[in-house]
Amino acid sequence: MEHITLLIGIVIATALVFDFTNGFHDTANAMATTISTGALAPRIAVAMSAVLNLVGAFLSVEVAKTISGGIIDESAGVKPRMIFAALVGAIVWNMLTWLAGLPSSSSHALFGGLIGATLVSVGTHGVHGDAVVTKVVVPAVAAPIVAGLAAMLATRLTYLLGRRADPEATSRGYRAGQIASAGLVSLAHGTNDAQKTMGVITLTLITGGVIAPDSDPPLWVIVSAGAAIALGTYVGGWRIIRTIGHGITDIQPQQGFAAQTGAAATILTSTHLGFALSTTQVCSGSVMGSGLGRSGAKVRWSTAGRMVAAWGLTLPAAGLVGGGAAALADQGTWGVTAVGVLGLAVCSWVWTASRRQPITHANVNDPAGTSGAGGRDAIGAAVVAVTPPPAGPTPTTA
């Protein structure tokens, strides 16, 4: 076995950066409804989610195996620089959708980056097409529908059972239930999403000759991946929390409890089966279902439509970026350096743009962010932040 080279070390560090972005991008999956109903204060919610994400990372390695030896053929000539290019593609997409407040899939960004980079660097024989269909595409379509239906039925049942109960007492009870169900979603998120980074690092170690083929993730990989996603979760993706918590539908505690319970059951079942699904799509689907399940609730389909469009674009968009980055990285050391510099430049630009209209724990529940717009302010602020001013003098108003 070989020692870890500088390039492998850079790839591992980049994978952990992706894991960090996954954490703050996907915090909304577990905590958006809990924060929006006031069941937990924002900072307490993300801290709780971070701890449970870390715990969840130690519960299973089935999804990691799907990544490291399932969708990509580790014996087809995959190189660490290709994995680096794939990770840059995934990180760039995560940052852009975070800026827009769109709950897109970090998982599909990673898959797209890996598939695009592999196709460019290795060819079609480097991708297991059947595994992509059965363990990525099918869950991507089925999981949000299943979770949405489960949440819709659960929401109707909760309102049916509580129709004669005291409304205030019922709300208090379901807020407590939300805390428990949010914890379960966070635990499930750790079992599924943290493993994806474990799988990428394991794939890097295998292709670099550091560990034997078909190996499970080493303990240090599990610990570092769990810590990275937990830290990212604690930072909090407030833009996306606002979109899920307020932009899709107005959520009452009963709905939040039903949505989170349905999402957790779907994620844990898929993790057990080794399906690397998108927790973002599952949780968003659950929130939509809870809106359909409550009589008189309004689902803001314009916001939902933008989310679904982002879901559809994620895999090919990240694949294009990953493929382009791989083509550049294949040129040698200067190409790998250029990929890193370009990726860092894009992320720095996104962060700078986000500071113009910041959304934090202090204003994530601000009604002004969603009044009449279904969360549009979160997205509109990003558009304003990245749109250059028109040429010529600025018109004045009377």
pLDDT mean by block of 10 residues, the chain; 398 residues: 76 92 77 82 88 83 62 76 90 87 81 90 86 81 86 88 76 82 82 80 84 82 89 80 78 83 80 72 86 81 82 88 91 91 93 85 64 38 39 42
pLDDT at position 390 is: 42
pLDDT at position 379 is: 37
Task: Decide if 238 contacts 359 (C-beta within 8 A).
Answer: yes
pLDDT at position 367 is: 55
pLDDT at position 276 is: 64
Distance CA 357, CA 10 (A): 32
β-sheet bridge partners, residue 21: none
**Structure letter (DSSP) for residue 2:** P
Task: Decide if 339 contacts 84 (C-beta within 8 A).
Answer: yes
Global confidence as pTM: 0.77
User: 């803001």: which residue's tokens?
Assistant: 300
pLDDT at position 68 is: 55
**Structure letter (DSSP) for residue 67:** I
pLDDT at position 391 is: 43
pLDDT at position 385 is: 39
Cβ neighbours of residue 100 closer than 8 Å, sequence gap 6 or more? 239, 310, 378, 379, 382, 383
Task: Decide if 133 contacts 338 (C-beta within 8 A).
Answer: no
Task: Decide if 375 contacts 307 (C-beta within 8 A).
Answer: no
Task: Decide if 39 contacts 175 (C-beta within 8 A).
Answer: yes
Distance CA 180, CA 195 (A): 23
pLDDT at position 84 is: 92
Give which of 89, 47, 38, 357 is closest to 232, Cα–Cα.
47
pLDDT at position 67 is: 62
User: 């966070």: which residue's tokens?
Assistant: 186
pLDDT at position 368 is: 42
Could you tell me the CA-to-CA distances from 383 to 279, 350, 375, 389 in Å, in that order?
26, 11, 13, 12
**Structure letter (DSSP) for residue 276:** -
One-letter amino acid for residue 315 of the chain = L
Distance CA 113, CA 136 (A): 13
CB-hemisphere CA count at 13 Å for 285?
Answer: 27
Q: What angle do CA 258, 241, 359 make, to 5 degrees?
A: 155
CB atoms within 10 A of CB 125: 12
Q: Which two tokens stand for residue 3?
A: 């020692």
